[in-house]
Structure 1
Amino acid sequence: MLQSFKLAIKSIIANKMRSFLTMLGLIIGVSAVVILVSVMMGYMNNMIKSFMDMGANTITVNLVNMPSRQASVDQMYDFFNEHRDVFSEMTPQVSVSGTIKVGSEKTTTTTVTGVSEYYGKLKNYKLEKGRFLSYADMVSRQKVVVIGYYVASKLFGSPKAAIGETVKINGSAFTVVGVVQRQDKTQLSARGSDDFAFMPYSTAGQLNGTSVPDYYIFATVNTQVSNQAVELLKDFLKTIYTQKETYFVQSMSQMLGEINTQLALMSTIIGAIAGISLLVAGVGVMNIMLVSVTERTREIGIRKALGARRGVILQQFVIEALVTSTLGGSLGIVLGCIASPTIGRFMNISSPANLNAVIISFSVSVAIGLIFGYMPAMRAASLNPIDALRSE
């Protein structure tokens, strides 16, 4: 066994370029599997984290309000208060399109939303400075606003400087009463997780002419009651809206389950497509090994004439193919482990090399050496020593 291994290494070194080109297919195949699966898993984890940040115990309600059929805010709050054993928080949500302006400085990318006093707790926001919106702000339609860290830094230089200052949203003056702690620890950017502003939903409705909100977010006491909560909401809305198409209720946990299933399927498909290159590399290994057997026919004949058994010849060529594929697989793993996080950084996601992808791709590359190397090895072991010695 040791002698066969030494001969395999000697043969690879003696034909450096041919050995490298043989390994190249395996290097590309293994690294492709590692990179694609790792980046895909990184993307999956990033997406799941984004949804988790929105709250795994949240339920979204979309309504199509009509003059004759609509659920008022008071009706939604009455339902919420009636089922406090199931729901922990609830907020209407009203989107406001426009810009935030302070003097000559302005932000055109900031997401401005009308929410209730429960929103901060629902999102697990902690305040850097000031306070969050209150129930009194909702009732009296106060023109107050809570802004994100990016908005405070861009318009005022710091969260501390922002408190008590006035900003204009679509021409209306609002007082900054709070700044949320920084969400993105790596960078502050436009359209990022710190580029937002919250005002009372009642004020937002007045600002954009929305008298009845059509979007609500509920938070359940835990994820175990999510299905029960969804059914309660559907039964309640059924009493107001006659058509199912006019209301839509979905829990975040249900959405996460569907996303996980879809992304896992995509990851498997991408891994399988990348794995095709490993199969092509295996054919390359077999072709090169067949060439090697042809070139060394005389050597095989001499060894057989000197008493080398069929099993020894078979072992020599199988080990040579195995060493070639193992080296190629190892180099492919090194390349994949370096490239995966690098590509992830360009995509602003964390994508370290996936351990399962590394193990599977390396195992496949080793298996390729055994499977595709066995046929040329059998051919070498089956050669007649007399015919082999006669070959040129």
Structure 2
Amino acid sequence: MVPAQSHPRRSFELTLASARRTMLFSEIVRLAIDSFRASKVRFMLTALGMVIGSASVIFVVTIGLTGKQYILNAIEGIGTNMVELEYSGGGAGNVNTNFQNDLLTRDDERAVDEQVPAVAASSPMLEMHDRISFGSGLVKDVLVLGVSPQYRQVRNLIVLSGRFFDDEDETTHTKVAVVTEPFARAMFGSTSAAINGTFQLSGIPFTIIGTFRERTDTFGQSEIADQTILVPYSVARYFTGTDNVKQIFFSIRDARDVEAASKQIVNVVHGRHQQNSVYTAQTLTALLTTASLIANALTIVLMLVSAVTLAVGGVGIMNIMLATVRSRIREIGIRKALGATAREIKLQFLIEAVFISLAGGLIGTIIGLAVPFSVRFFTSYRVPVSGWSAVIALVTSTMVGIIFGTLPANRAAQLDPVESLKYE
């Protein structure tokens, strides 16, 4: 039988052991702080490597996020909600059929508008390469695109001066045009001077009512070139003599519905033509995903490079702690003679190493976060700040202190107390 008093006694012993461990840890922390106070310069110089390394981690993440934000904003400026539909050709079995029946038409656009609820706006596009003439007798080769008024919304165009043609211009077949900024500057000297300027296309006079530019410079990789003129689709179709269009642009209400809506658009158009016809719906979703992955990969690579700085700081901590162990051999011997165990000695030097690395990491984290927050405070640019970068910097600093402080701590714990007391 176990005596009734055994349980209270066992509980008292556990409480006493817990209190002893608490006192032991607080004593070790106090000894570490006293050691730092005695060697302030050495402590600060050792922690400097961790300060630089931790700040570098946050700087790298901030730079990576800023670059990612810039790239994504540039792509979004083209139109993340945009779907570009075009006829890609006929499949097998279309050899003896008239491919003209497969080309896109304005009726296809109207069918999509009616059957795909996610579509917010749309515009057909007719493409013509022609020469225009001015009253002075100057002749110039330009790209003329016939589009609807909603083309401005779909393509996120910015009107620099004047206005874009509207539904009334489209309905009344008004001979008006909007021109690109480079065209206006080359032919009229400025964007404002181009307003009310005139030119002739196939002998028909047009009046310039506005100038525009793309929200994001696509460097000629879109359908809009530097020397481009936009005219109402209802006017442009008379120059081609056909209802066929080269492409149809759609704007989707929600960017999350782009992929699903693009498939619906293809299905609707495909159902109106021959079964073997091929239609392609291009979106920027894949490009956004790819750009995001590339930016994340570059950020990770830069973080690994900055981790080298943390490793160098860890080597510095290990060297200083090894020197500290050698300079405090007699102190270690006295502590062991007074009853300190090897575990307690090891814990003491390990805590000192962690304190150095963690203090450096904390200061570096504060500096690393202060820079982007200062930019956000003193400027209008919203520099992205990642809280995870601060967490990573602090955790990494702690791990560096543990990893590179283990060897000096083990060496201190293995010292013989008798030999240590004899050490001068």
TM-score (norm 1): 0.70
Cα distance, 1:83 vs structure 2? 2.5
Structure 2 CA distance for partners of 1:380 and 1:93, relative to 1, 3 Å: farther
What SS does the aligned partner of 1:219 have?
strand
Q: Deviations over 1:282-325 (max 9, x none)?
A: 34422332232123323322444456565653344223212321
After TM superposition, give the deviation of residue 7 of structure 1 in Å. Answer: 1.2
Distance change (3 Å), C-alpha of 1:225 and 1:370: closer
Structure with the greater alpha carbon radius of gyration: 2
Structure-to-structure mapping, 1:354-369, within 5 angstroms: 354-369=386-401
* Rounded Cα–Cα distance in structure 2 between residues aligned with 1:168 and 1:283: 76
Match of 1:199 in 2: 230
- Say whether the 8 Å CA contact 1:92–1:216 is kept in structure 2: yes
Aligned length: 369
For residue 44 of structure 1, the aligned residue among 68, 73, 97 is 68
Going from structure 1 to structure 2, the CA distance change for 1:357 and 1:134 (only over 3 Å counts) comes to: same
Shift of 1:117: 0.9
Report matched runs for 1:48-197 at 5 Å: 48-64=72-88, 68=99, 70-83=102-115, 85-93=117-125, 115-123=147-155, 130-135=162-167, 140=173, 142-145=175-178, 159=192, 163-166=195-198, 175-178=207-210
| 1:106 aligned residue | none
Say if 1:166 and 1:383 are closer, same or farther in 2 by CA, change over 3 A.
Answer: farther
Q: 1:324 to 1:307 in 2, by over 3 A?
A: same
Partner of 1:7: 35
Distance 1:367 1:325 in 2: 9
Matching residue within 319, 326, 349 for 1:287 = 319
Aligned equivalents of 1:37, 1:53: Cα separation in 2? 24
Hey, what's the Cα distance between the residues in 1 that align with 2:50 and 2:144? 52
Structure 2 length normalisation: TM-score?
Answer: 0.66
Q: Give the counterpart of 2:247 among 215, 218, 227.
A: 215
Change (3 A) 1:87 1:150: same
Kindly state the Cα deviation for residue 145 of structure 1 after the two structures are TM-superposed.
0.8
1:11-26 equivalences in 2 (<5 Å): 11-13=39-41, 15=42, 20=45, 22-26=46-50
Matched residue, 2:355: 323
SS at match of 1:132: coil
Match in the other structure for 2:404: 372
CA contact under 8 A between 1:29 and 1:332: conserved in structure 2? Answer: yes
Q: Hey, what's the Cα distance between the residues in 2 that align with 1:101 and 1:303?
A: 99
How many angstroms does 1:248 deviate by?
2.5
The answer to whether residue 416 in structure 2 is matched with residue 388 in structure 1 is no
Check whether the contact 1:149–1:179 (CA below 8 A) recurs between aligned residues. no
Give the aligned partner of residue 58 of structure 2.
34
3-state SS of paired residue (1:300)? helix
What is the CA–CA distance in structure 2 between the aligned matches of 1:282 and 1:213, rounded to whole Å? 66
Contact 1:115 1:198 in 2 (8 A): no
Q: Name the CA distance, whole Å, in 2 between partners of 1:315 and 1:44.
A: 43
CA contact (8 A) 1:149 1:182 kept: no
Paired residue type of 2:175: Q
Separation in 2, partners of 1:168, 1:28: 65
Instruction: Say which SS state the counterpart of residue 99 (structure 2) adopts.
Output: coil
The 2-side partners of 1:65 and 1:271 are apart by: 47
Q: 1 CA distance for matches of 2:183 and 2:67?
A: 24
Change (3 A) 1:351 1:85: closer
For 2:340 and 2:134, the matched residues in 1 are separated by 89
Q: Please say if residues 7 and 316 of structure 1, whose CA atoms lie closer than 8 Å, have aligned partners that are also in contact.
A: no
Distance (Å, rounded) in 2 between the aligned partners of 1:96 and 1:251 = 24
My pick for the range that moved more, 351-360 or 297-306, is: 297-306
Query: Residue 32 of structure 2 aligns to which amino acid in structure 1?
Result: S
Indicate the SS of the match to 1:177.
strand
Q: What is the CA deviation profile of residues 341-370 of structure 1, one whole-angstrom value per residue up to 9, with x for unaligned ones? A: 9999xxxx8544432112211221123213
Match runs of 1:235-384 below 5 Å: 235-238=267-270, 240=273, 247-253=279-285, 255-257=287-289, 259-261=291-293, 263-305=295-337, 310=342, 313-334=345-366, 336-337=368-369, 351-384=383-416
Q: Aligned in 2, Cα 1:353/1:72: closer, same or farther, shift over 3 Å?
A: closer
CA gap of 1:255–1:243, structure 2 versus 1, over 3 A, is farther
Over aligned residues, Cα RMSD in angstroms? 5.0
User: For each residue in 1:25-80, what CA deviation from the matched residue of structure 2 results, as whole angstroms up to 9, or x when unmatched?
Assistant: 43443233222221111122222333333444321224446883552333433433
Q: Do the aligned partners of residues 118 and 388 (structure 1) sit closer, same or farther apart at CA in structure 2, a change above 3 Å counting?
A: same
Identity across aligned pairs (percent)? 25
Structure 1 range deviating more: 331-340 or 321-330 = 331-340
Q: Which residue identity lines up with residue 319 of structure 1 in the other structure?
A: I
Give the deviation of 1:173 after TM superposition: 8.1
Do the aligned residues in 1 keep the contact of 2:355 with 2:401 (CA within 8 Å)?
yes
Which one-letter code corresponds to 1:11 in the other structure?
Answer: S
Structure 1 gap segments, 5+ residues each? 104-109
Change (3 A) 1:163 1:293: same
